[in-house]
């Protein structure tokens, strides 16, 4: 049995975007019958919300699509850089924070590098922080996360496994 691929989704607070990405990725992996091939987690570069459930607006958008968000917020830990094969930042500032915290840049990707609707040369490939906006922002985040996680799974599995 090969070792599972370990994937860590990272945002700032770990209550809005990265728990949604974690839940969506797992949901898609379950739908494809390949969840056993992955270990997935999420964290924030900041620790303000450690121990908290995801933001109710993230829970609401996930519920709308019958996706469970079981995680509790936690802050990035020094061991994460070694524990995870792939560390996926929601935006460029999360990526900078990860690299400043000592995570090797080669392990860090932006989630929307995998979004098939985003031109690879586009400078802005952020999943925008929806925390201070309204619920529409969470629907937009969900759409970006869904497209990106689906394409990421294709890549990790190899297109022949679809
Ligand atoms: P997230 O959103 O990084 O997607 O979880 C945020 C949540 C909380 C804060 C900022 C962003 N905050 O400043 O408390």
The pLDDT value recorded for residue 160 is 42
Name the pTM for this structure.
0.96
Q: Which of 10, 15, 111 to mutate to test the pocket of ligand 1 (most atoms within 8 A of CB)?
A: 15
Q: Is the CB of 129 under 6 A from ligand 1?
A: yes
* pLDDT over 50 (residue 107): yes
> pLDDT tens across 4-22, in order?
999 999 999 999 999 999 9
| pLDDT over threshold 80, residue 49 | yes
DSSP notation for 75-141: B--TTHHHH-SEEEESSHHHHHHHHHTT--GGGEEEGGGG-TTS-TT-S-------TTS-HHHHHHH
Backbone angles phi, psi at 87, to 5 degrees: -120, 120
Please report, rounded to a whole number, the percentage of residues in the chain having pLDDT higher than 70: 97
Q: Is residue 57 in contact with ligand 1, taking CB distance under 6 Å?
A: no
Residue-level pLDDT at 121: 81
> To the nearest whole percent, how much of the chain has pLDDT over 90?
91
Q: Average pLDDT of 118-131? A: 91
20 lines ligand 1 (CB under 6 A): no
Instruction: Tell me the β-bridge partners of 86.
Output: 7
Annotated catalytic residue: which of 109, 129, 149, 150? Answer: 129
Q: What is the pLDDT of residue 159?
A: 53
């Amino acid at each position: 049995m090969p070792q599972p691929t370990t994937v860590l989704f990272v945002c700032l607070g770990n209550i809005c975007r990265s728990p949604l990405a974690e839940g969506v990725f797992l949901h898609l992996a379950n739908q494809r019958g390949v969840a056993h091939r992955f270990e997935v987690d999420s964290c924030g570069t900041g620790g303000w919300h450690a121990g908290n459930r995801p933001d109710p607006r993230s829970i609401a958008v996930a519920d709308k699509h019958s996706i469970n968000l079981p995680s509790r917020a936690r802050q990035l830990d020094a061991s994460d850089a070694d524990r995870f094969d792939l560390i996926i930042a929601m935006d460029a500032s999360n990526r900078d924070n990860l690299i400043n915290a000592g995570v090797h840049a080669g392990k860090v990707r932006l989630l929307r590098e995998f979004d098939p609707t985003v031109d690879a040369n586009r400078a802005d490939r952020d999943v925008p922080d929806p925390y201070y906006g309204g619920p529409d922002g969470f629907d937009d985040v969900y759409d970006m996360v869904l497209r990106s996680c689906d394409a990421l799974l294709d890549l990790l599995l190899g297109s022949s496994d679809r």
